[in-house]
Amino acid sequence: MDGPAIEMRGLGHSYNGSPVLHNIDLTIERGEVFGFLGHNGAGKTTTVNILTTLITPTHGTALVNGYDVITDRRRVNAHIGYLPSEVRMYPHMTARENLTFFAELSGVESPNRAVAETLEYLDCSELADLRVGSFSTGMRQRIGIAQAIVHRPSVLFLDEPTAGLDPAGIRQLRRTILDLNADLGMTVFMNTHQLSEVSKVCTTIGVLNHGELIYKDSMEATMRRFPDEMSLEDIYVRMGGVPA
């Protein structure tokens, strides 16, 4: 499929008449790992909710794999995976049962095989027959990622994926993102506050400040642009990526 993985033009959204996104113009090419930075309330999750068809934008357009998030929702959903900040699964069911249920809903051929292959790929087959209700945050997230990719999407959305993880869990997540991008060619769109992780996994970053996109460039170009800064935190503040 030709064209960018994600394209937004004049995208905006309001809640009860109060704008939270202001005419976002943003293109993310296929194969990028894109880090979307911003303070709490900047509009990052609203953007992801629009791109994953959970809410409808107030104005503007957004395309995922060339499909409109308003008029082609079913096709968008067939091409994306989504890991929300709070992973939601049926706690009384095992990991395998949760994943099989989702795979069947997604129309995956041979769902049992797809689930087994996904668990093996993520190195968490030992969790397959355990009830999700007994899982730690890290275990839930691993199965959440499995759920997000069991149908092999081309675009993966991660909303604050490091929330609640310990350092070992963060390192494991980092490896998973890099592997999904390298092995399966997935484009990754990641909302995050963990600036240190952005420098390790992202090829491109964008900064959202009070609903406005104030910066977008490659990670390499960003580090060249701010050679005098000691850390990404300093770069982030200098670009205005903090609440006023």
Could you tell me the two tokens for 66?
A: 């060339």
Over the chain, what is the mean pLDDT?
Answer: 91
Cα 44 to its chain centre, rounded Å, is 10
Length of the chain in terms of residues written: 244
Contacts of 186 (CB under 8 A, 6+ apart): 81, 149, 153, 154, 155, 156, 180
- How confident is the model over 177-203, as pLDDT tens digits? 999 999 999 999 999 877 777 888 999
CA proximity to 63, closest of 22, 9, 20, 24: 9
Give the pLDDT score at 230: 55
Residue pLDDT, tens place only, 21-61: 999 999 999 999 999 998 888 899 999 999 999 999 999 99
Residue 41 has a pLDDT of 86
Inter-residue contact 240 to 206 (CB < 8 Å): no
Per-residue pLDDT of 128-181, as tens digits, reads 999 999 999 899 999 999 999 999 999 999 998 988 888 888 899 999 999 999
Tell me: the pLDDT tens digits for 49-96? 999 999 999 999 999 999 999 999 999 999 999 999 888 899 999 999
Closest CA to 26 of 2, 43, 1: 43
End-to-end CA separation in angstroms for the chain: 41
Please tell me the pTM assigned to this model. 0.93
- pLDDT of 21: 96
